[in-house]
Amino acid sequence: MGKPPKKRSLADKVRKTKTSTQIKNNPFEVKINRKKFDVLGQKSKHDVGLPGVSRSKAINKRKNTLLKEFRLKNKANKFVDRRFGEYDTKMAPEDKILKRFTMERQRSQTKKDLYNLNEEEELTHYGQSLAEMEKMTDMVDSDSDSEEKGLLSAELTAAHFGGGGLLRMKTGEDGDYEEKPRSRQEIIEELILKSKQEKRERQTQKEESQELTEKLDQEWRSVQSLLAHKTPKSERKDEPDKPKMDDYDVMVRELGFEMKARPSEKLKTPEEVAREERERLQKLEADRLRRMLGEESTSKKPSHMSADDLNDGFILDTDDRKTLSYQDGQWNVDGGEEEEGEKNEEDEDDGGEEENEEGDGGDDDDDADDDEDAEDEDDHSDLDSEQGSGAEDEEGDEDKEEEAAPAKAALSEEERRAVQQAAKEELPYTFKAPESFSDLKELLLGHSVEQQRLIVERIQKCNHPSLAVGNKAKLEKLFGFLLEYVGKLATQSPPELSTINTLIPQVYSLCQLFPASACKVMQTLLSDGGHSMEEAVEVKGRAAFPGLDMLIYLKIAALLFPTSDFRHPVTTPAFLYISQALTKCPVSSLESVSAGLVLCCLAVEFVSLSKRFIPELINFLLGLLHLAVPADTCKDYCVVSPFRQQGKASKLLLLCDTESSSSWSRKPIPLTSVHRVTASTDLQRDHHRLSVLDACLDLVKRCATLYRDLPSYDQIFQPIRTLLTNHLPVQSYPPALQELQREILEAIPETPSQHSPLVFDKKKPIALKMLQPKIVEVLDYGKKRGNTKEEKERERLKHKYKKEFKGALRELRKDTRFLAQAKLSDIMSRDAERKRKVKELYGSLATQEGEWKALKRKKRK
């Protein structure tokens, strides 16, 4: 048992003397691992093994780690060498020494600090203090200091170097003769005191001189300005604190500032502003078109804040405000935040000063604003009309309107000012946001129309979300209350529609502020209306036409939300509501005719951009026209619900007297006729009927142009055509109506148009199969199990774990074997030692015995 380690150690000895190439070339050291297959391109690491080398490596490693640990086992104390870098094999011995030396020095340095006068280690450069040198960069650049520096006071030298005996003698002679000779410590303390005092004096002197120089500089500057005529600006400015800079520095700074400031300060010409506005609108329009086609949006909704709105300028977002604050080349400081009217008031209050200061004056500025606003509005409407008809020339119109705008704006400005002056005396400027509908009602009731608008506006302003935390919720509620108020105004008799009309901009601006909550409120209104109508339909099979409030809600919905969207959380239900009303509400009176007509108008308005098809609208218009047909039964067209081919209400729009058409003139029907038709005499009723028919025919005409592109255009309009040509008593109608009828008939062709048969959309051809190799990620060579990535990963980990486990086991076994060998060798060596000692003892005893015997023999002899 004792042999193999010995042998190995011998082999190790041999090996250590050889280089690695020698070992590798030795065929007895090399073990070649035979490969079963040759895989092209595979790199194999383990084709040649060096078992001897690796074994000795392993043994060495164990000796260094395991064996040491084993030796220290069950031992409480151990010797740790804490010398720097003792166990760091990477460090060169010279480095170690150097480091140890420096560390020692440092340690000794701390002790020295006790006697360091400056209390800190001064860094020097060529014997001069760096701190001093830094100070030299300062103003003081006189060289008197440096002279002082080099001087050695006699006392100092005396103290430091002991001085010459001569010197000491001299002092002794001069004075302090009676004084006892001081102890060394006293002398040293005195020395320290003195040097400190000296240092302080030097410092104060330096400060004084610096002050003096600065003063001198100032004076020089004042004199200099007298001497050389510089700009008055520099004369006035009393900023001598900063040192005068180099021309170069000035230039650099100026350039730097210029670069930053220029782009924002660049003035926009009116054309540029207009173009930007147009671009913004075009972007919005493109966005609208996209939604109309029902495409999913990926980009974020752009904010629809508009620059040109006078009234709701204050609701604009802060960033938006900034971009709009340059108008007409002027920086309009309070442009977005303050309402137009208040700004004017302010201007009046402190007008003079401002004018003096700014030169240009505030009023001009405002006027310019107005110009801009008016122009923007016009521009905007212009654009829309252009989109609608696509015929007008934009540029020319714009110019014309630019001229017209200022006058108009000035007029409106004056009016408004007058109104505000009147209102100012009564109305407070701040309002609490109403907590409930009744609060709002209390606030608004009893005020004039314009005052009500002002109140709402001020509520909105006082509770702007940026002012306080809870304001957002308050204003969100305000929107709901406002709509409720609008509904209440509409249901009153007589309805206060003009009030509603003035409140609309407020409603709009609130909606722009809080789209989500506005949407929710509108949805609730629609859902309530729809629900009640559906219930009525379910119970009675029919329902009454919605009241004026509901009609106005629908109109407001169209004002606030885009009706052209493919799907919109508010307008889609609104469409359905209109459809429901147009199909389920029977027309039994002139009031219901009016209500139906309002709904039809709304429907046409809703689809005027998107040109979507509303079957109910056509049905309803046909039904309305049918009400004016004198003949009882018309076989060649048929009306559908809610109209009946014949019935008690089927002649509702038939004129009582054909003569009344001569006195009829076209004028709009009052919205209140939805609730009550005021006409009392037959003539008035006939006029009302004619107005209704006029509106009806106009709507038909609009529809005919809207739906021109539909493939089933003829089928849709055929019933109306037959009714208009064969049955409607047009001859008895005023010429305006006859004209309309003729136009409609022209619009609807008699012969049906032709279409190509339907085919499916062409599909994209399916791409041919590619013959490229399929690339699969190989995570690990060897056996591959599992199909999915997760499974493969699991298998791989399992395999790795197994491998590691086996390896660990092997290592442990080797460790124990190594330890056993170590123990054995320990025992062996101990035994050998003992044997040797015993032998030695025996030997010594034997020699002793021998000697003793020899002595005995000698004695005997």
Q: Using the rule CB under 8 A, which residue among 615, 786, 807, 843 binds another protein?
A: 615
**284 part of the interface to another protein, by CB under 8 A:** yes
Return the number of the residue (262 or 567) whose C-beta is nearest another protein: 567
Site for another protein in 669-688 (CB under 8 A): 669-672
Sign of the C-alpha dihedral, residues 840, 846, 849, 855?
negative
Q: How far apart are CA 727 and CA 723, in angstroms?
A: 5
Q: How far apart are CA 210 and CA 463, in angstroms?
A: 59
Measured CA distances, 765 to 189, 663, 768 (Å)? 104, 68, 9
3-class DSSP state for residue 79? coil
Site for another protein in 384-413 (CB under 8 A): 384-385, 388
Site for another protein in 636-665 (CB under 8 A): 638, 640-641
The residue behind tokens 């309305």 is: 624
Return the number of the residue (306 or 661) whose C-beta is nearest another protein: 306
Site for another protein in 325-384 (CB under 8 A): 380-381, 384
Tell me the CB-side half-sphere exposure of residue 265, using CA atoms within 13 A: 6
Q: Which amino acid is at 471?
A: N
Return the number of the residue (652 or 669) whose C-beta is nearest another protein: 669
Measured CA distances, 676 to 55, 543, 584 (Å)? 112, 18, 21
Site for another protein in 448-467 (CB under 8 A): none
Site for another protein in 103-122 (CB under 8 A): none
Return the number of the residue (100 or 288) whose C-beta is nearest another protein: 288
Site for another protein in 696-715 (CB under 8 A): 698-699, 702, 710-713, 715
Q: Using the rule CB under 8 A, which residue among 278, 458, 472, 611 binds another protein?
A: 611
3-class DSSP state for residue 243? coil
Of residues 553, 534, 400, 413, the one with CA closest to residue 486: 553
Q: How far apart are CA 674 and CA 544, in angstroms?
A: 12
In the complex, the smallest distance separating the C-beta of residue 566 from another protein, rounded to whole angstroms, is 5
Structure tokens at 225: 């300005």
Between helix 351-358 and helix 340-349 the angle, nearest 10°, is 90
| Burial (Cβ within 10 Å: 0-12, 13-18, ≥19) of residue 335 | buried
Return the number of the residue (269 or 381) whose C-beta is nearest another protein: 381
Site for another protein in 500-539 (CB under 8 A): 500-502, 504-505, 507-508, 511-512, 515-516, 518-519, 523, 526-527, 530-531, 533-534, 538
Stretch that binds another protein, among 13-21, 127-135, 281-289, 765-773 (CB under 8 A): 281-289
Q: Using the rule CB under 8 A, which residue among 602, 628, 737, 744 binds another protein?
A: 602
Of residues 506, 518, 520, 504, the one with CA closest to residue 463: 506
Site for another protein in 574-593 (CB under 8 A): 575-577, 579-580, 583-584
Could you tell me how many residues of this chain bind another protein (CB under 8 A)?
A: 116
Q: How far apart are CA 295 and CA 301, in angstroms?
A: 14
Return the number of the residue (59 or 581) whose C-beta is nearest another protein: 581
Of residues 353, 372, 243, 224, the one with CA closest to residue 310: 372
Site for another protein in 753-772 (CB under 8 A): 754-761, 763
Do residues 650 and 667 touch, judged by C-beta distance below 8 A? Answer: no
Return the number of the residue (452 or 512) whose C-beta is nearest another protein: 512
In the complex, the smallest distance separating the C-beta of residue 35 from another protein, rounded to whole angstroms, is 57
In the complex, the smallest distance separating the C-beta of residue 507 from another protein, rounded to whole angstroms, is 8
Q: Using the rule CB under 8 A, which residue among 541, 765, 773, 782 binds another protein?
A: 541
Return the number of the residue (36 or 667) whose C-beta is nearest another protein: 667
The DSSP symbol for 726 reads: I
Return the number of the residue (352 or 668) whose C-beta is nearest another protein: 668
Site for another protein in 288-327 (CB under 8 A): 288, 291, 294, 297, 300-301, 304, 306, 308-309, 312
Q: Are strands 326-327 and 330-331 parallel, antiparallel or unpaired?
A: antiparallel
DSSP structure string for 378-408: HHHHHHHHHHHH--S-HHHHHHHHHHHHHHH
Site for another protein in 470-489 (CB under 8 A): none
In the complex, the smallest distance separating the C-beta of residue 787 from another protein, rounded to whole angstroms, is 30
